[in-house]
Structure 1
Amino acid sequence: MTFNVLIATIGRSTLHTMLESLLPQLLEKDVLTIVFDGLHPIELDLSSAKCTVHIFEESVALGFNGHAIRNKYQTILDKTDFILHADDDDVYADDAFLFLRQMCTDIDTLYVAKMYLHAIQKTVPAGRYIAIDNIGTPCGIIPYLLNTKGRWSLPGAGGDGRFYEEIAKHAKNIVFLDKIIYHVYPAPGR
């Protein structure tokens, strides 16, 4: 299975930590897409990347916690079996992609993994359903074409949940995975 991970960033230094958790897990056949939202890119050490890396710059900040970036780029991402969405200030679990390569074997299935919110000590999704406030940006392992079937709406208005609700309507199958693949840590200003 191949993965394309889209990271929308405002150039926070935490992007380095995200990449440290992600790059060792991506293989040559995978893709990493980083989009800087209205800022000049920060310097990144991508020398350890085995995968294809694309870096884009938006000249005008699209904003909205990366949701506008996700909407704009969802139709132009390099084709892989699955698309994942990540933020620049969180991290993947050490074995996340080893697990996903073993479990995500059907390219017509929407897989939903868990993330852990450290600030409130909560695992999301809390149940085997997709709904606003029960799913987060990085939870979906989305078949490539299914990724274009939804729109990310404004944060605070259920942006993540609405996107996943929309694409779930078009999914042939949905499989909930019982593993935490992603950690959200408290960040200054969050």
Structure 2
Amino acid sequence: YCIHQIQVLTFSDFVACGNHLVDTKRTTPDKLTLEGRSAGGLLVGAVVNIAPYLFKAGVAGVPFVDVLSTMSDPNIPLTTGEWEEWGNPNVAKDFEDMSVWSPYDNIKAQNYPSLFVAAGLYDPRVAYWEPAKWVAKLRQIKTDANNVLLKCDLDSGHFSASDRYRHHWERALELSFLLEHLGCLRKKDYV
């Protein structure tokens, strides 16, 4: 097998780890979140399609989620150099393999965890329209009322803000999203 033919193992292994944490009572789905950036955002996208019941919330930073469209276009920077890793959807067998796990192409009418999705307008690696397209389709098809939020940074690219204070602010925003959905930021009644 080539590396792109075993991508699905990454997703099933991640789900197996989450299920193990729940099965061994180390956590519950209401207390489990996930986060990934770029190719890790692809992991988030694939896993919430496969096992949305397993997570309360997630953060996907500049997620590579429209795999088939992006990898089909050799004019997009980095595409041809990535065919060995991800596959070339212009080749029938690769298209078939990639269709199984491409996050955008596997959105279903089901409940999804709350999601915070970040994009960068000047991102040369994951174009802003990938996460935007993914968020729009999720909002249209999913069957729950959970949040699916998109934050598109109009001043940065793939690596977020270069100013450290702004970078910390952005990180705090992502973490506060997760903490809010875990119920950690609600005022307690201390009567």
Report TM bin, short chain.
under 0.3
Higher relative contact order (CA 8 A, sep 6+): 1
TM-score normalised per structure 2: 0.27
Tell me which structure has the larger Cα radius of gyration: 2
TM-score normalised per structure 1: 0.27
**Higher strand content, 1 or 2:** 1
